[in-house]
Structure 1
Amino acid sequence: MTLARTLRQALTIARRDFTATVFTPIFLLVLFAPLIMGAFGAVGGMGAASVADARADKARIVAIVPAAATRAVTAADDRLRTAFRRDEEQPPALVTLAPDGRGEAQARAAFDAKGYEASAVLYGPLDAPRILYGSRGKRAADYLGLLAGDALAAQRLGGALPRVTVTKTPVTGSRAGGGAASYRQSASFAVFGVFLLNLFLASQVVGTMAEERNNKVIEVLAAAVPLESVFLGKLLGMFGVAILFVGFWATIVAKLGTFLPPDVARALALQTAVGLPAFGLVFFTYFTMAYLLLGSAFLVVGALASSPREIQMLSLPISIIQMAMLALALAGTAHPDSAIGWLARIFPLSSPFAMAGRAATEPALWPHLAAIAWQLLWVSLFITVGARLFRRGVLQSGSAKPRWFRRKPAVTPLT
């Protein structure tokens, strides 16, 4: 009966916090924050891309070869460029110059040409070419070396290389995606996904708790219901806000995914050891566990902080701990059978991240049941300890010291 009453009180507070957060104009800014950040990133990326394109339009690779070899070098350049996709960085356009007898001096002079910006310059015989390159021309220099070898082979074979007809057939299935390598890639995605969602959403709990403490609302709630119910209710209310946020963007991403070309969709598809339906359920469960663990820690921070400055000072160590847990989980995912892998799965703050990665690489499901029970235990401990800290440190109720530190009252003997 007591447990049912505690849950009922917690759900009442959760509904209050959820309504107060969602039905406000500010929530629209939170909901569309990824779109706003993406827009700023896109603007910055477009600016950087325009600068890079302007530089790429002037960049050239120069081959100083005799007239007899110019055709072979140009044909070799056309052949080698077919290996680059449109979305890959291609070598700069080729410029051929006739040698004037100055050798290296002519090659160095090509870097000072006004009509283009030379990245790398080739001169000398094709069987022993010399290449000069600038600060960003190392790859262009490698390409010129391949170009010289291809052109020399074509010359020695009579002016043209034999044509090869290639038949390309895409292969689908788990082995086509790389097997264990694809599983590890999905594991890294799971770890980063859980981390980024919690980094963005769990920190919002701090502000709500601190604001209600300053407005004395939290004291009114604490007078009506137990503090454990207050903490659990606020955690569930903000978790409902997080679910609304994740569901909104997950729906949009899923709809946008239907418009992707089939090749792109196959390349972006996750491949997991437990299967996609089970992986989705496990991912959501560990996102929930990580949110409850981190959210309960942020609740304690918001309850103990009395000003925004204190919130910032207390939130910084938690953010550093989050980054450390991410590094620990990634290391554990890369080496699952090592000591660091076991530590990442057992330590409560890193356990949701590491176990989400394990779901992508290991098909067994029973370890996840044990991990979820272990994490729920720590969530209850965090909420209980946070409520007691708040009661003793802020409300000044209860004993400020443990029982074994209290002094016994002095007894005066009767005379």
Structure 2
Amino acid sequence: MNMFLRQAVVIARRDFIATVFTPAFLIFLLAPLFMLVFATVGGTGARMIADSGEAGQRIVVIASAEENALIGAADGRRRDLIPAPIAPPQLETREPRGDPEAQARAVFSESGIDVTAVLYSDGAGDDAGWHIIDGGNASFSANYLAALAEDARRDRLADISPGADPPAIPRTPFQRQEASSSDRQSAGMGALFVLFLLTLLLAGQTVSVLAEEKGNKVIEILAAAAPLEAVFVGKLAGLFGVALLFVAFWGGLASLAIGALAGPGMMGVIDPAIGLSTFLTLGIVYFAMGYLLLGSVFLAVGAQASSMREIQMLSLPITFFQMAMFGLASAAAATPGSTLALIAELFPFSSPFAMVARGATDAAIWPHLAAIAWQLLWVAITIAIGARWFRKGVLKSGPSLLRRFNPFHNSAKQN
């Protein structure tokens, strides 16, 4: 056992140094920055296009000057209560000229603006003369205009002038001492997403490293120098060290950015039920569990392929499976305490993600201790099975795994 551990440590140190001390690792380390820049540029462009379209939208009211004043005042009151991203289009008031219905229909043909709904009065009376032409088929704009007309009617009946301020109601500010349940649930979903993204990004690196070594025959040299089980464990440990370095680098940058932009009190806003320090510690532990589980599978599957194309084909189902685990854990985080949440917490490959989300909403410690013990058992099982598959994949001399199950290859061989 001592010899096995020493060989695994040598392989781990060799893989860590060979991965970190290369120019390619710097690019890999800065890959999230490039992704963030590209996402920002793309998002800014899409936001500008959306804003330019929204800026030209209008809702139009065609009525007398008195009614337009009442509706304008009602619009000002209601618009202050609606967040800007979901606010209705800007209101434009006009006085009637000729036939109000024909004037309202003609508004939709104007090229300078994009009208979504028009409210007009046919002059039949203050209460019964309103009509709405909806350009969006039961759109929010039409409902908003109907509400404005009702507000204007009530103001007129109550003899409230358009510029009158509503009576002031005393307000007492209240500062929460702890985060709300929705804030904690959002924090859990955020931690779940970050954990999944890091696990998928960093565990997938094991496949590319193995493909490179199989291509330049380095894996054969390692197989001659040490047992393949020790090579498997050493590679997994070495690449896990690379992953920890990656997480430490970006975690440190994130902490510095939060401290510089929002001050040291920003982390106090994140108030998981289990406590911030415990929550961060559990996040690191669950990242280790998720990485070792997924990394073992990637290494074992990668050893079965003989080319990079086959490795990519074999890795694709694993990625889809991991996406399904992310969906299961997300559904569990949205419904804490449910049967679905229990299933996600017990299933080994979704358990790290579901449990880190649970830490944000549940203050109990014992479920995490039980979950970590359960995940450690499955990490040991996965590594044991993966090491055997790794040994068979590296030592095999026959066709690759894909060719064994290819009916065209088997029929051609028989012919």
Q: TM-score range by the shorter chain?
A: 0.7 to 0.9
Specify which of 38, 46, 56 is matched with residue 40 of structure 1.
38
More displaced 10-residue stretch of structure 1: 367-376 or 156-165: 156-165
| Structure 1 pair 8–104 and aligned structure 2 pair: CA distance change class (3 A) | farther
Q: Does 1:330 align with 2:333?
A: no
The Cα offsets for residues 353-380 of structure 1, whole Å up to 9 and x where unpaired, read as 1221222222221222222222222222
Aligned to 1:279: 279
The Cα offsets for residues 363-411 of structure 1, whole Å up to 9 and x where unpaired, read as 22122222222222222222222222232343149xxxxxxxxxxxxxx
Secondary structure of the structure 2 residue equivalent to 1:304 = coil
Deviation at 1:170, TM superposition (A): 4.3
Q: Distance in 1 between matches of 2:66 and 2:339?
A: 65
Specify which of 80, 94, 99 is matched with residue 97 of structure 1.
94
Identical residues among aligned pairs (%): 49
Preserved CA contact (<8 Å) 2:101 2:120: yes
Aligned to 1:366: 366
Preserved CA contact (<8 Å) 1:331 1:341: yes
| Structure 1 pair 162–57 and aligned structure 2 pair: CA distance change class (3 A) | closer
The Cα offsets for residues 151-178 of structure 1, whole Å up to 9 and x where unpaired, read as 223323332454233536242222xx43
Structure 1 residues without counterparts, runs of 5 or longer: 398-415
The Cα offsets for residues 89-131 of structure 1, whole Å up to 9 and x where unpaired, read as 4332221111234233221111112332212111126645322
Deviation at 1:198, TM superposition (A): 0.8
Aligned to 2:134: 133
Structure 2 residues without counterparts, runs of 5 or longer: 398-415
Aligned to 1:306: 306
Q: Does 1:289 align with 2:286?
A: no
Preserved CA contact (<8 Å) 1:120 1:137: no
Q: Distance in 1 between matches of 2:269 and 2:303?
A: 42
Q: How does 1:183-198 map to 2 (within 5 A)?
A: 183-198=184-199
Preserved CA contact (<8 Å) 1:126 1:148: no
Secondary structure of the structure 2 residue equivalent to 1:88 = helix
More displaced 10-residue stretch of structure 1: 379-388 or 328-337: 328-337
| Structure 1 pair 82–261 and aligned structure 2 pair: CA distance change class (3 A) | farther
Q: How does 1:205-354 map to 2 (within 5 A)?
A: 205-260=206-261, 265=266, 269-354=269-354
The Cα offsets for residues 8-59 of structure 1, whole Å up to 9 and x where unpaired, read as 3222222211111122121122112122112112222222222222222322
Deviation at 1:338, TM superposition (A): 4.0
Q: Does 1:28 align with 2:26?
A: yes
Aligned to 1:412: none
Preserved CA contact (<8 Å) 2:233 2:387: no
| Structure 1 pair 13–164 and aligned structure 2 pair: CA distance change class (3 A) | farther
Secondary structure of the structure 2 residue equivalent to 1:118 = strand
The Cα offsets for residues 52-71 of structure 1, whole Å up to 9 and x where unpaired, read as 22222322110011122222
Q: How does 1:399-410 map to 2 (within 5 A)?
A: none
Secondary structure of the structure 1 residue equivalent to 2:112 = coil
Aligned AA (2:21): F
Q: How does 1:45-56 map to 2 (within 5 A)?
A: 45-56=43-54
Q: How does 1:35-184 map to 2 (within 5 A)?
A: 35-85=33-83, 88-124=85-121, 127-128=127-128, 129-135=130-136, 138-158=139-159, 159-160=161-162, 161-166=164-169, 167=171, 169-174=173-178, 177-179=179-181, 181-184=182-185
Deviation at 1:205, TM superposition (A): 0.5
| Structure 1 pair 285–90 and aligned structure 2 pair: CA distance change class (3 A) | same
| Structure 1 pair 394–17 and aligned structure 2 pair: CA distance change class (3 A) | closer
Q: Distance in 2 between matches of 1:130 and 1:265?
A: 51
Aligned AA (1:178): S
Q: Distance in 2 between matches of 1:215 and 1:386?
A: 22
Q: Distance in 2 between matches of 1:339 and 1:162?
A: 52
| Structure 1 pair 65–315 and aligned structure 2 pair: CA distance change class (3 A) | same
Preserved CA contact (<8 Å) 2:11 2:231: yes
More displaced 10-residue stretch of structure 1: 381-390 or 16-25: 381-390
The Cα offsets for residues 177-197 of structure 1, whole Å up to 9 and x where unpaired, read as 433x33332332232222111
Q: Distance in 1 between matches of 2:234 and 2:273?
A: 36
Preserved CA contact (<8 Å) 1:126 1:149: no
Aligned to 1:413: none
Deviation at 1:305, TM superposition (A): 1.3
TM-score by length of 1: 0.86
Aligned to 2:410: none
Secondary structure of the structure 2 residue equivalent to 1:131 = strand
The Cα offsets for residues 210-250 of structure 1, whole Å up to 9 and x where unpaired, read as 21122221122122222222111111211122112212222
Preserved CA contact (<8 Å) 2:232 2:390: no
Preserved CA contact (<8 Å) 1:208 1:302: no
Aligned to 2:407: none
The Cα offsets for residues 57-88 of structure 1, whole Å up to 9 and x where unpaired, read as 32211001112222222222233332245x53
